[in-house]
A and B are shown apart, each in its own frame.
Chain A
Amino acid sequence: DVKVTQSSRYLVKRTGEKVFLECVQDMDHENMFWYRQDPGLGLRLIYFSYDVKMKEKGDIPEGYSVSREKKERFSLILESASTNQTSMYLCASGSSYNEQFFGPGTRLTVL
């Protein structure tokens, strides 16, 4: 059974803290993605990666960075969390035109 796991389902952080969101997939997919989901805005792509140590900016990369040291793991980093980064964060993995497999999401609240 294919699986994408995210390190936390719920996370509460304070403004200015550094936040790490981890995502692991067990399908040997080349491509991994980080989205944020906000009501009425759908999913917006933050960053994606085609391969280990490769990263590409998505539509809203400001305030975020990523790391892909191993094929199965893609980390999203908020260097200094702000209240407008309160959101649901979804990780996905996939291969070229195939479907994307999503993790359950991390609901991040920044106080």
Chain B
Amino acid sequence: GEDVEQSLFLSVREGDSSVINCTYTDSSSTYLYWYKQEPGAGLQLLTYIFSNMDMKQDQRLTVLLNKKDKHLSLRIADTQTGDSAIYFCAEINSGTYKYIFGTGTRLKVLA
């Protein structure tokens, strides 16, 4: 069945780069997404990548997509304490438009 997997925790020092990884199973996914959830809030879209792209850069964020390995990563450059949150990757089922979310990675940024 469809599954999206992430590691549960990541801890980095302020100013370092963070890399959050995700593996997915639905090879027909058209879009893959990264959402951020701050404490006590719903999810907000951070960035997304179309499945025919390998990389997308948006200011401090870099998304890498390896379709062969079904691996998606989010790199945050110069990580700040305000980046502390839970990050979810998600794929969308091309037939049903259903999103499939990963378990979420809790990023903790140490000052």
- How many inter-chain residue pairs (CB < 8 Å) link A and B? 49
Q: Are B99 and A33 in contact (CB under 8 A)?
A: yes
Q: Are B42 and A105 in contact (CB under 8 A)?
A: yes
Question: Which residue in B33, B40, B98, B103 is a CB contact (below 8 Å) of A45?
Answer: B98
Q: Are A90 and B48 in contact (CB under 8 A)?
A: no
Interface footprint category on B:
20 to 34
Which of A11-19, A64-72, A73-81, A95-103 binds B?
Answer: A95-103
Give B contacts to A, CB under 8 Å. Answer: 4, 6, 8, 30-31, 33, 40-45, 48, 88, 92, 96-99, 101-104
Question: Can you list 7 A-B pairs with a CB-CB distance of less than 8 A?
Answer: A41-B103, A42-B103, A43-B88, A45-B98, A97-B97, A102-B43, A102-B44
Give A contacts to B, CB under 8 Å. Answer: 4, 31, 33, 35, 40-43, 45, 48, 50, 56, 58, 90, 92, 96-97, 99-100, 102-105
